[in-house]
Structure 1
Amino acid sequence: MIKITSRTKQAETTKNKIYECGVKLIRINGFDGVTVEQIAKEAGVSVGTYYYYFESKFELLREIFKQADDYFLKEVKGHLKAEDFKGQIVEFFGKYADFNYLNGLEMVKKLYTCDNKMFNIKGRAMQNILEDIIKNAQVKGEFSNTYVATEITRVLFVVARGIVFEWCLFDGEIDLKSEMEKIISNMVVGYMFIK
């Protein structure tokens, strides 16, 4: 068993403080409206300390997206209750909506910009979880094999991001979760019957 020293605890506390202050400032000002210097000042650390824990401002953004993947690994993978594949996919995107609610409308608005290339990263945990569900559905013949699971995953995320963008555009006035589940359900039915 690895012994956790007080120095290790302090380092983790400092990194978390920088992360939380960065998220707070991004929530208020957007990613491009925040500098490393501002984040360091808000966290009460030097710029050098910031760079000790995060290589760049982009690295902080990467950490925000890592939190999303960690959520899906902890809360979604192996925890979906639906018995059929269609239900699992719809439930998966219900959890995607829940995660956006957890982040809050203002934070999500700041992240959903065409300048945020983190949405382009392939092979993230949440994508892999969905892709495995789709592959299993294809193996069992419940989902068409016309398209590979990777492509279906990509398209479903494009649609889901569009729904989240609309939620942002209308300042949270739409019910994100019910919209997500309704639209994804229709998409999934389409993929089940494509020949």
Structure 2
Amino acid sequence: MTELTSRQIKALETKQNLLEKGLELFHEKGFDNVTVESIAKACNVSKGAFYVHYSSKYDIFLEKFKDIDEFYLSFIPSIPTDLSASEKILLFYKGQMTYLRDVLGKDFVHTIYTSALALTMNEDHYLTNQNRQLYQIIHSYVEEGIQRNEFKQEFSADYISMLITRCMRGTIYDWIIFRERLDPVVEIHHMTSTILDGLKVK
């Protein structure tokens, strides 16, 4: 493996610094009140240096969500293959919410999700983009459940996936609203189990 040059290492450090400082400023001031110039200034670099790494301040969110999705992918091998689709979904969500609660923390999650809502929601918005790894993982489990006749055949994989991912987003936003009064790991299990029970073939 080729070793990185000192210049490449410096560039990676600058990109990471811009990411962390940008998220910190979003948390302190709100997404709309933070400019590219203010992020660059806080990192002691020029606006031009910012644009070398990110095309806009929104790209900071994209970068972090990609990091989060990489964790989700790395978690998949820990889920036993002989479980039902419903059990796999519940285990995956347990891992996801444990990661958000115990690793990222509620303040960080509050920052990235509420700031993301300040942006125009369209089909390309990362929170709703169905090409995102998170949604692809859930969709694959749902397809598996349909093929094994675990879920009712009258519902499409897209529809079932939509219902299940709404459980995830709803849990995250309720956690942001209710904070310590709600444990996302417990809540996601209760909510998703209820939905899954209604989708199963009796």
Scaled by the length of structure 2, the TM-score of the pair is 0.86
Q: Is the 8 Å Cα contact of residues 105 and 171 (structure 1) preserved in structure 2?
A: yes
Spell out, residue by residue over 1:94-120, the C-alpha distance to the aligned partner (whole angstroms, 9 max, x if none). Answer: 122123213222222233344344312
Identify unmatched segments of 5+ residues in structure 1: none
In the alignment, what sits opposite 1:7?
7
1:6 maps to a residue whose letter is S
Residue 134 (structure 2) pairs with residue 126 (structure 1): yes
Q: Residue 44 of structure 1: CA displacement?
A: 2.0
2:173 maps to a residue whose letter is F
In the alignment, what sits opposite 1:94?
94
Residue 138 (structure 2) pairs with residue 139 (structure 1): no
In the alignment, what sits opposite 2:47?
47
In the alignment, what sits opposite 2:157?
149
2:40 maps to a residue whose letter is A
2:23 maps to a residue whose letter is V
Segment drifting more, 49-58 vs 100-109:
100-109
The share of aligned pairs that are identical, in percent, is 26
In the alignment, what sits opposite 1:24?
24
Segment drifting more, 146-155 vs 76-85:
76-85
1:55 maps to a residue whose letter is S
Identify unmatched segments of 5+ residues in structure 2: none
Whole-angstrom distance in 2 between the partners of 1:84 and 1:121: 26
Q: Residue 4 of structure 1: CA displacement?
A: 2.3
Whole-angstrom distance in 2 between the partners of 1:104 and 1:66: 17
